[in-house]
Amino acid sequence: MTTEKTRARHETLDLEEADLKSIYRAMLVARRVDERSWILNRQGKAAFVISCQGQEAAQIGAAYNLRPGHDYLYPYYRDSGMTLLLGQTPRGQFLSLLGKKEDPNSAGRQMPGHFSSRELNIVTSSAPVGVQYPQAAGTALAFKMRGEDGVVMACGGEASTSGGDWHEAMNFSGIHDLPVIFLVENNVYAISVPSKFQVAGSIAKRAEGYGFPGHEVDGNDVLAVYEAAKEAVERARRGDGPTLIEAKTYRMTAHSSDDDDRRYREREEIEAWRLKDPIIRFEKYLFENGLLDEDEKEAMDAEIKAFVAEASDYAENAPFADPEEALDRVYAEV
């Protein structure tokens, strides 16, 4: 399908119709899984939810450039959109949400949102904010040492740049031109703390001080993020070094199900951002370019909702690990 006008944005990015649908679908899956998680929380079944809502464009736009199982991903706790795109399943997500034995991330040991997949090169993540960055730099260095073309993507919120680890990794990656992409999903808040008390100056601009490019992109525009990440991934694969991407977005939910955001932000602000919902925005783009219509969308959504519900049911019925399994796998065997 082509339009008569000047080339559409996705065309200049070499994205086919199938790509666009995959991207859209991935965003929708992430959203529906997330929404379902909140329902389970309200039903008293899920003790803790941490959300990707509002950040789907930043996540999918960036991760769509990765080769699952070849490149490495260091996600942070909101990156379910990414990990689902790369091959984790809604079922796995719900198993993790409910802490069941089959939880692919940790067998019920970790909180939800602490992703891990050895097969997909999604490195086990944890709660301490920022620790992933030096690790990601190391992983990138291994690729470089072996002359391989793998790249590493390391993600975090804007507050993950406040700790020393981020800086140490930026510096090291700059020194050795490592194939790593730092993706900062700046969603304005760190729990209650607004970014003006979190970040001096500009995150994106800091890259220059380390001798590599930094881009600030509209994080709610999936194509803009895709474009920036594409350039960054290609640059890294070529061996030209790291890139920092600051995707400006917004946290549409409270920090987590434990948080009450009425203490620190106005409802109007949230409402204003709801209008910029990245999924609605991309939908609009697809509609406008004749790549999706209302029927198709409904059908896709219905299908997604159905299998999300199924995945959730599966997880609800799945067993917990035996209590004594808490003792296992402390040390790998020599």
Ligand X SMILES: Cc1ncc(C[n+]2csc(CCOP(=O)(O)OP(=O)(O)O)c2C)c(N)n1
Residues that bind a second copy (CB under 8 A): 161-168, 170-175, 196-203, 205-212
Residue 275 per-residue DSSP state: T
Among 101, 99, 96, which Cα is nearest to 122's? 96
| Contact partner at residue 156 from a second copy, Mg ion, ligand X, none, CB < 5 to 8 Å by partner kind | ligand X
**CA 189: distance to chain centroid?**
16
| Contact partner at residue 306 from ligand X, Mg ion, a second copy, none, CB < 5 to 8 Å by partner kind | none
Q: Beta strands 214-218 and 243-248: pairing type? A: parallel
- Closest to a second copy by CB, 209 or 290: 209
Of these residues, 264, 265, 281, 314, which one is catalytic?
A: 264
Which residues fall within 8 angstroms of residue 119, CB to CB, at 6 or more apart? 69, 87
Binding of ligand X at residue 189 (CB under 6 A)?
yes
| 264 flagged as catalytic | yes
Q: Report in angstroms how near the CB of residue 109 gets to ligand X at its nearest.
A: 17
How far is CA 181 from each of CA 65, 98, 214, 223, 248, rounded to the nearest angstrom? 11, 32, 10, 17, 16
Q: Report in angstroms how near the CB of residue 279 gets to other proteins at its nearest.
A: 28
| Contact partner at residue 187 from ligand X, other proteins, a second copy, none, CB < 5 to 8 Å by partner kind | ligand X
How far is CA 34 from each of CA 115, 160, 201, 250, 261, rounded to the nearest angstrom? 15, 22, 32, 15, 18
- Closest to a second copy by CB, 193 or 309: 193
DSSP 136-195: HHHHHHHHHHTT----EEEEEEGGGGTSHHHHHHHHHHHHTT-SEEEEEEE-SEETTEEG
- Closest to other proteins by CB, 10 or 144: 144
Identify whether the C-beta of residue 36 lies closer than 8 Å to the C-beta of residue 91. Answer: no
Identify whether the C-beta of residue 145 lies closer than 8 Å to the C-beta of residue 139. Answer: no
- Residues 141, 114: Cα–Cα separation, whole Å: 24
**CA 112: distance to chain centroid?**
14
- Closest to a second copy by CB, 92 or 241: 241
Query: By CB under 6 A, what part of segment 100-159 binds ligand X?
Result: 127-129, 156-159
Identify whether the C-beta of residue 314 lies closer than 8 Å to the C-beta of residue 91. Answer: yes
Q: Report in angstroms how near the CB of residue 327 gets to other proteins at its nearest.
A: 6
CA angle 156, 64, 10 (to 5 degrees): 120
| In the complex, residue closest to Mg ion by CB | 157
Q: What x/- string results for residues 245 through 274 when contact with ligand X is judged by CB under 6 A?
A: ------x---x-------------------
- Closest to a second copy by CB, 183 or 207: 207
Q: Report in angstroms how near the CB of residue 287 gets to a second copy at its nearest.
A: 39
| 67 flagged as catalytic | no
Q: Report in angstroms how near the CB of residue 172 gets to a second copy at its nearest.
A: 8
Q: E strand or H helix at 74, and its extent?
A: strand 72-74
| 251 flagged as catalytic | yes
Q: Report in angstroms how near the CB of residue 197 gets to a second copy at its nearest.
A: 6
Per CB under 6 A, which region of 40-48, 90-98, 187-195, 224-232 contacts ligand X?
Answer: 187-195
Looking at 31, 32, 36, 78, which residue binds ligand X (CB under 6 A)? 78
Query: By CB under 6 A, what part of segment 156-175 binds ligand X?
Result: 156-160
Of these residues, 31, 32, 91, 255, which one is catalytic?
A: 255
Q: Beta strands 189-190 and 193-194: pairing type? A: antiparallel
- Closest to a second copy by CB, 64 or 74: 74
Question: Which positions touch ligand X (CB under 6 A)?
Answer: 78, 127-129, 156-160, 187, 189-191, 251, 255
| Catalytic residue ranges | 251, 255, 264
